């Protein structure tokens, strides 16, 4: 137990330094206007995993490679990464020690760790045992001491199940190799710390970027923290524990929605922020390769969000959002063996490169194109959904199956389906889900038609994103076409993104509510009050 506590402290300090230093270096180099180091810490967290992914990605495509080689390679990458940070010490060594955000962060992190500790005893998530046993397939019993685990040197990458999450589980294996702890100890303790660190930094970022001067930010922050804790418990309940790759993907969704909400506030717009958002998108490849298409959808929507907000430079933003994730899209399709999609994404990469050259060499001509797009954005936003819907209807008619049986809870929200035990009422549950999907589609259409007339407020960006995602991708009318165009994984994580968007909208709305500040209580000394009474009597 003592060993575990010391390792947990060292683990926390190391990754706190890695993430906060990386964030400080990036904010300084890219001149991002923020005084909140924990905003930088969030950036540093996903930048670190994006860099790790890009180094490991080519090796993950070699099926005969020993898995143990990947683990030691990741350890070497970490050493190299740390050395680079030490070389760049002048960018991050100026962290303010007396910043009140440190106290807020430590308090929030402690709260999350306590909540995570308690939830292990009171909540049983769906599918936990199956996934825990999957992690142990990388290990074998030590022949000298059967109570201990060691990495299995015979495991090759081609034989590992769930290759899509191999990058994330390699991180888990690296921590096991360094600490020599039982894999279950890492799963149940160290990864809770990592998750608590991310959400504590998110809380500080929400408090810094959405709180208002004349509002009671203590009360707003309290409710915001409660909503974040409730969000994590809800995610955990539906099967995504701290070590689970889907949990990290969910964290990524939270960060994307919150950072885009900050970015679309004109006060915080920075020409280099889209590069950061693009890198954050790229980090998904560490956690789950099968999230490729939902990330593609989010990249598309992010481009539209900037187009709706800003009249100029939104094509530059789109290029910056797209370049790095497209590399991952290409690798994913190489791994999956979809040749024609490899060429589609290579073509997209080429278009982005050509567009970036035109943007920087002759922006005057591009400016006219941007002006035309902005003036017709309400019409253009429906072009892709209309094409997808027509194609989906044609596919349904050609197949002779008019049923929407592909749009079911088991395929789109399997964790909810499993945890709530809806298999008993499968047909009823799927019918209700289909009706709810069409209701949200109607809401999305109405919102897009009238969103220009709706005044700007803190949750508007999240709702805009949700509306565009629903109309373009998250509805039964286009589902069949998406499956035909990509594969059955195109509908994965739709429900998760939907829930995250609603939770972020609720959380940011808390800061928009006007709450009166507490009255200041002034205490007068007893003697002074007695003198005033005597003077009045005279």
User: Residue 202: pLDDT above 90?
Assistant: yes
For 119-156, b/e burial (b = at least 16 CB within 10 A) is: bbeeeebbbbeebbeebeebbeeeeeeeeebbbeeebe
Q: How far apart are CA 325 and CA 50, in angstroms?
A: 10
pLDDT tens for residues 431-474? 888 898 899 999 999 998 888 788 877 788 888 899 999 999 88
Per-residue pLDDT band for 111 (boundaries 50, 70, 90) equals very high
Per-residue pLDDT band for 203 (boundaries 50, 70, 90) equals very high
> pLDDT value at position 521?
53
pLDDT tens for residues 73-94? 988 999 999 999 999 888 877 6
Token pair belonging to 112 = 């999350």
For 448-476, b/e burial (b = at least 16 CB within 10 A) is: beeeeeeeeebbbbbbbbbbbbbbbbbbb
> pLDDT value at position 408?
80
Contacts of 533 (CB under 8 A, 6+ apart): none
pLDDT tens for residues 301-311? 998 988 888 88
Distances (CA, A) of 11 to 18, 62, 134, 194, 246: 11, 31, 24, 9, 22
Q: How far apart are CA 355 and CA 366, in angstroms?
A: 9
> pLDDT value at position 221?
85
The stretch 352-381 carries a mean pLDDT of 83
Query: Could you tell me which of 14, 85, 45, 33 has the C-alpha nearest to residue 195?
Result: 45
Mean pLDDT rounded to a whole number for the chain: 81
For 285-312, b/e burial (b = at least 16 CB within 10 A) is: bbbbbbbbbbbbbbbbbbbbbbbbbbee
pTM of this prediction? 0.88
Q: How far apart are CA 329 and CA 335, in angstroms?
A: 10
Give the max Cα distance, the chain. Answer: 102
DSSP string, 512-536: TS--PPPPPP-PPPHHHHHHHHHHH
Per-residue pLDDT band for 45 (boundaries 50, 70, 90) equals very high
User: Residue 237: pLDDT above 90?
Assistant: no
Least confident stretch, 91-95, 166-170, 368-372 = 91-95
**Stronger pLDDT, 440 or 244, i.e. the higher one:** 440
333 SS3 class: helix
Burial of 348 (0-12, 13-18, 19+ CB in 10 A): middle
> pLDDT value at position 129?
40
Q: What does the angle CA 328 – CA 278 – CA 310 come to, to the nearest 5 degrees? A: 140
**Stronger pLDDT, 430 or 157, i.e. the higher one:** 430
Q: How far apart are CA 276 and CA 49, in angstroms?
A: 13
> pLDDT value at position 439?
92
Q: How far apart are CA 186 and CA 179, in angstroms?
A: 9
Q: How far apart are CA 66 and CA 160, in angstroms?
A: 10
With a pLDDT cut of 90, the percent of the chain lying above it is: 16
> pLDDT value at position 520?
56
């Amino acid at each position: 137990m003592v060993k575990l506590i010391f390792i947990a402290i060292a683990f926390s300090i190391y990754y706190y330094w890695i993430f906060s230093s990386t964030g400080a270096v990036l904010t300084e180099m890219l001149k991002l206007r923020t005084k909140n180091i924990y905003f930088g810490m969030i950036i540093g967290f996903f930048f670190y995993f994006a860099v790790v992914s890009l180094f490991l990605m080519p090796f993950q495509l070699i099926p005969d490679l020993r898995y143990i080689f990947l683990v030691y390679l990741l350890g070497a990458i970490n050493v190299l990464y740390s050395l680079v940070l030490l070389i760049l010490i002048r960018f991050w060594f100026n962290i303010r020690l007396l910043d009140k955000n440190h106290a807020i962060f430590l308090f929030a992190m402690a709260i999350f760790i306590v909540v995570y500790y308690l939830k292990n005893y009171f909540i049983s998530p769906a599918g936990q045992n199956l996934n825990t046993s999957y992690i142990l397939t990388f290990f074998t019993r030590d022949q000298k001491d059967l109570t201990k685990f060691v990495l299995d040197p015979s495991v090759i990458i081609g034989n590992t199940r769930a290759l899509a999450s191999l990058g994330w589980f390699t991180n888990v294996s690296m921590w096991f190799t360094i600490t020599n702890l039982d894999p279950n100890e890492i799963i149940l303790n160290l990864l809770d710390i990592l998750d608590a660190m991310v959400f504590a930094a998110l809380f500080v970022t929400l408090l810094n970027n959405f709180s208002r001067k004349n509002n009671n930010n203590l009360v707003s922050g309290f409710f915001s923290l409660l909503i974040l804790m409730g969000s994590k418990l809800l995610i955990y309940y539906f099967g995504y524990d701290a070590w689970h790759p889907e949990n990290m993907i969910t964290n990524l969704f939270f960060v994307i929605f919150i950072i885009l909400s900050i970015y679309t506030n004109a006060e915080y717009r920075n020409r280099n922020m889209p590069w950061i958002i693009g890198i954050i998108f790229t980090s998904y490849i560490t956690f789950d390769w099968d999230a490729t298409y939902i990330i593609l959808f989010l990249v598309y929507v992010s481009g539209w969000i900037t187009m709706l907000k800003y009249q100029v430079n939104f094509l530059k933003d789109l290029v910056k959002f797209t370049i790095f994730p497209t590399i991952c899209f290409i690798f994913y399709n190489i791994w999956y063996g979809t040749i024609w999609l490899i060429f589609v994404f290579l073509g997209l990469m080429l278009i982005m490169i050509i567009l970036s050259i035109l943007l920087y060499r002759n922006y005057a001509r591009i400016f006219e194109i941007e002006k035309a797009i902005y003036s017709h954005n309400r019409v253009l936003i429906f072009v892709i959904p209309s094409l997808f819907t027509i194609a989906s209807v044609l596919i349904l008619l050609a197949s002779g199956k008019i049923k929407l049986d592909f749009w079911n809870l088991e395929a789109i929200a399997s964790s909810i389906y499993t945890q709530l035990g809806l298999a008993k009422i499968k047909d009823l549950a799927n019918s209700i889900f289909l009706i709810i999907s069409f209701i949200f589609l109607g809401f999305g259409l109405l919102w897009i038609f009238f969103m220009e007339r709706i005044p700007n407020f803190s949750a508007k960006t999240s709702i805009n994103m949700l509306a565009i995602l629903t109309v373009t991708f998250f509805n039964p009318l286009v589902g069949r076409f998406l499956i035909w165009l990509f594969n059955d994984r195109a509908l994965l994580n739709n429900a998760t993104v939907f829930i995250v968007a609603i939770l972020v909208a609720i959380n940011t709305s808390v800061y928009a509510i006007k709450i009166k500040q507490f009255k200041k209580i002034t205490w007068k000394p007893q003697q002074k009050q007695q003198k005033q009474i005597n003077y009045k009597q005279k």
